[in-house]
C-alpha cells in the first residue's frame, strides 16, 4: 500500500487552505523596491514584496511607474517569484492601464495583484475578470491570483462574498483608511497599538475579515504596524494578530519590521517537533486515530498539526528530516515524488 500524505487524506479531495509567506512588505519608490528585493535575496522567500503603483506613483506619471514595476518582475532582482503589485483602485482612470502595462512588459507575471479600496463585490469581480482576460490575451499560462484590500464600509459588509470570489487568494485589512472612513467617530488611537486591538468597531472588522477568509480557504492579511523603531511593538502586534484574531499574514512598511513579523508568525521548535511526531504516527496508522502521550488524536487534530508544519516551512523554520515524506507530492503516475 502506498503511503499517503496529509494533503491527500486530510481535506477530503479539496485543496488545503492557502499558505502564503507570513509578511507582505510594501515598497513604492525605486530605491525602496531595490532595497527590498536585495533583502529578499538575503533572507529567502519568507516574505513577499508588493511593488506599489497606487501610493508609489506620482500623479501624471502612472504609466512610467508601472513600467518601472514591470521591469523588476522576473529580473535578476526577482529571484524567487514572490513579488506582487498593487494597482490603482477601481475609481481611478489608470487601473486598467496598470494591468495592461505590467502584464505585457514583465518577464514574469506578478505573484499576485492587490486591488485597493474595494467598495463592493461588483467592482472586485470586474477587476478580477479584466485581469484574467488580459493575461489570456497576452498568452500568460497561469492565472494571476488577486488580493483584495478591505478598508471601506461597503467591502466590510460584503466580506464573505468577497472571500468567495474565484481568483481571490487573500483579504487584507486597511486599518487607517477604515478608521478615517468613520469621520472621527473612531479616535486616532485606534490606528496604532494597543488601541487597534481594543476598539470594538476595529475588532469587529478584523474578526469579520479573518472569519471570511477561513470560511473560504483564503489568507487573512493583517494591517501594518506604524511603529518603525521599537521592533518589540511590531512583534507584539503580529503575535496578537495571529493568536487573538486568526491572521496568518501581516503587512510591513519598513524593512526592519520584516524579520520581527516572520518570527512572530513562525511556530516554535517544540510545536514543530510535536507536530512531526503526531503526523508521522498518524501516517504509520494510515491516518486512523492515534495516541500521543495521554492525548488521543484523529483527522481533526491532524489537520491542525499539518498547518503547523506548513507554517514552519513558509517561515523558513527548520523542519525535521524525518518529516520530509509528509511533504511528498503525488505525480501523474500516482507515485510519491519529493
Terminal Cα-to-Cα distance of the chain (whole angstroms):
18
Confidence at residue 247, expressed as pLDDT on a 0 to 100 scale: 97
Cell of 81: 517569484
Give how far Cα 108 sits from Cα of 44, 129, 142, 289, Å.
Answer: 18, 20, 11, 45
Torsions phi, psi for 330 (to 5 deg): -100, 125
At a CB cut-off of 8 Å and minimum separation 6, what does 99 contact? 87, 113, 130, 131, 134
Question: Which parts are annotated binding residues for substrate?
Answer: 86, 151
Cβ atoms of residues 25 and 36 within 8 Å: yes
Query: CA–CA separation, 60 vs 267, rounded Å?
Result: 45
Query: CA–CA separation, 107 vs 250, rounded Å?
Result: 27
Question: Which parts are annotated binding residues?
Answer: 86, 151, 177
Closest CA relative to residue 102, chosen from 58, 63, 59: 63
Query: CA–CA separation, 143 vs 167, rounded Å?
Result: 8
Confidence at residue 337, expressed as pLDDT on a 0 to 100 scale: 42
Query: CA–CA separation, 173 vs 177, rounded Å?
Result: 9
Greatest C-alpha distance within the chain? 66
Question: Which parts are annotated binding residues for Mg(2+)?
Answer: 151, 177
Cell of 314: 513558509
Set out the domains of the chain in order of their start, with CATH numbers.
23-265 (3.20.20.60), 268-326 (no CATH)
The number of CA neighbours under 13 Å toward the Cβ of 255 is: 13
> The cell 514595476 sits on which residue?
69
Give how far Cα 328 sits from Cα of 242, 247, 306, Å.
Answer: 28, 27, 13
* Cis before 334 (ω within 30): no
Confidence at residue 239, expressed as pLDDT on a 0 to 100 scale: 97
Across 234-246, b (16+ Cβ under 10 Å) vs e yields bbbbbebbbeebb
In whole angstroms, what separates CA 224 from the centre of its chain?
13
Alpha helices in 165-230 (DSSP H): 175-180, 195-198, 200-215
Cβ atoms of residues 172 and 114 within 8 Å: yes
Pairing verdict, β 329-330 and 295-297: unpaired
Confidence at residue 129, expressed as pLDDT on a 0 to 100 scale: 98
Closest CA relative to residue 116, chosen from 178, 71, 202: 178
Query: CA–CA separation, 82 vs 78, rounded Å?
Result: 8
Give this prediction's pTM.
0.91
For the chain of 338 residues, list the mean pLDDT of each consecutive stretch of 10: 82 80 96 97 96 94 96 96 97 97 97 97 98 97 97 96 97 96 95 95 98 96 95 97 97 96 96 96 94 94 95 93 79 38
Confidence at residue 15, expressed as pLDDT on a 0 to 100 scale: 73
Amino acid at each position: 500500500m502506498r503511503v499517503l500524505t496529509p494533503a491527500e487524506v486530510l481535506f477530503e479531495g479539496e485543496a488545503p487552505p492557502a499558505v502564503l509567506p507570513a509578511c507582505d512588505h510594501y515598497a513604492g519608490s525605486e530605491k525602496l523596491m531595490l532595497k527590498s528585493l536585495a533583502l529578499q535575496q538575503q533572507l529567502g522567500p519568507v516574505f513577499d514584496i508588493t511593488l506599489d503603483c497606487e501610493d508609489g506613483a506620482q500623479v501624471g506619471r502612472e504609466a512610467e511607474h508601472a513600467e518601472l514595476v514591470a521591469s523588476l518582475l522576473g529580473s535578476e532582482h526577482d529571484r524567487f517569484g514572490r513579488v506582487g503589485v498593487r494597482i490603482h483602485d477601481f475609481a481611478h482612470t489608470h487601473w486598467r492601464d496598470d494591468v495592461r502595462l505590467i502584464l505585457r512588459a514583465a518577464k514574469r507575471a506578478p505573484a499576485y495583484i492587490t486591488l485597493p479600496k474595494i467598495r463592493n463585490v461588483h467592482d472586485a469581480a470586474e477587476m478580477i475578470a479584466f485581469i484574467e482576460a488580459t493575461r489570456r490575451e497576452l498568452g500568460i499560462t497561469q492565472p494571476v491570483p488577486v488580493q483584495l484590500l478591505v478598508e471601506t464600509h461597503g467591502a466590510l459588509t460584503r466580506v464573505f462574498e468577497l472571500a468567495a470570489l474565484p481568483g481571490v487568494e487573500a483579504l487584507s485589512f486597511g486599518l487607517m483608511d477604515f478608521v478615517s472612513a468613520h469621520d472621527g467617530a473612531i479616535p486616532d488611537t485606534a490606528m496604532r497599538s494597543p488601541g487597534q486591538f481594543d476598539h470594538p468597531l476595529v475588532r469587529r472588522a478584523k474578526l469579520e475579515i479573518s472569519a471570511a477568509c477561513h470560511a473560504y480557504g483564503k489568507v487573512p492579511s493583517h494591517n501594518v504596524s506604524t511603529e518603525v523603531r521599537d521592533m518589540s511593538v511590531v512583534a507584539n502586534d503580529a503575535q496578537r494578530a495571529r493568536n487573538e484574531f486568526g491572521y496568518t499574514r501581516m503587512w510591513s512598511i519598513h524593512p526592519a519590521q520584516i524579520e520581527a513579523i516572520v518570527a512572530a508568525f513562525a511556530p516554535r521548535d517544540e510545536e514543530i517537533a510535536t507536530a512531526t511526531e503526531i503526523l508521522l504516527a498518524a501516517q504509520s496508522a494510515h491516518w486512523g486515530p492515534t495516541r500521543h502521550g495521554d492525548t488521543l488524536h484523529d483527522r481533526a487534530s491532524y489537520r491542525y498539526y499539518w498547518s503547523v508544519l506548513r507554517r514552519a516551512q513558509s517561515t523558513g523554520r527548520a523542519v525535521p528530516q524525518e518529516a520530509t515524506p509528509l511533504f511528498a507530492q503525488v505525480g501523474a503516475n500516482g507515485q510519491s515524488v519529493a
